[in-house]
Amino acid sequence: MTHPFDPQWKFVQAHYFQRPLKPRVVTLLVVHSMEAPDKPSTAENVAAWFASPKSPEASAHACVDCDSVVTCVMPGDIAWACGATNWESYSLEIAGYAKWLRADWLAATNAPMLKLAAEHLLKAAAYFGIPAQILSEAEVAECLRDGCIRQGHMTGQLSGNPGGVTTHVMVNAAWKNWKLHGLPQPGPKVDLSHSDPGPEFPLDALVGMQPALMDTEPPPSPRA
């Protein structure tokens, strides 16, 4: 298989994922931490773990370490990465730990990984027609509510929020405050315990990076 917007990297199909019954509208680019060191083999090892039927039922769209991106789930498919948010999200796993301080993430040794992650996120944003902007909890909740409406889980008017970049912990915060945000109550099997990529992850630095534009135009957005 050839990845539609980042074909230069290896694709390793995750075992656990879902093909949607209808084309999905992705509005959330969700950053996760692998809870693994930023080494040249980390993305490959996590992708291989996702590919194994013996692994826990989990996956992500892509994994990034200091020297590579490994894509694992096609962007039109649903990765099993953040529970009730999977349908409207594109999930990116990056090497590192939720316990890291901001200074740890921004250490020179992690700069290549953050650059690769930023490049991939910008390509994903262009592909899905999502602004490369950081969302507040309330804005994340708007995207979640829109996803519930599109899937028929609730009725209402779409917010018009085009989406943006967020983290697993922020998505979980929105679900935990479901009453405040007018969301359906998460089911008992929805895991809201994840706190990655941690409170000091420099999402502003990641989104603020401006890698060189791609040499070729990205494929047409699914919304086109």
pLDDT tens for the chain, 224 residues long, are 889 999 999 999 999 999 999 999 999 999 999 999 999 999 999 999 999 999 889 999 999 999 999 999 999 999 999 989 999 999 999 999 999 999 999 999 999 999 999 999 999 999 999 999 999 999 999 999 999 999 999 999 999 999 999 999 999 999 999 999 999 999 888 889 999 999 999 999 999 986 543 343 444 445 43
Give the other-Cβ count within 10 Å of 183's Cβ: 21
Q: How far is CA 22 from the centre of its chain?
A: 20
Cβ neighbourhood burial of 129 (10 Å; 0-12, 13-18, 19+): middle
Give the homologous superfamily in CATH for domain 17-208: Peptidoglycan recognition protein-like (3.40.80.10)
The amino acid occupying position 36 is A
What are the boundaries of each domain within the chain? 17-208
Which residues have CB under 8 Å from 212's CB, separation 6+? Answer: none
- Token pair of 1, please? 């298989």
Alpha-carbon dihedral 67, 70, 76, 82, rounded to 10 degrees: -90
158 Cβ neighbours under 8 A, 6+ residues apart: 146, 149, 150
Q: pTM of the full predicted structure?
A: 0.93
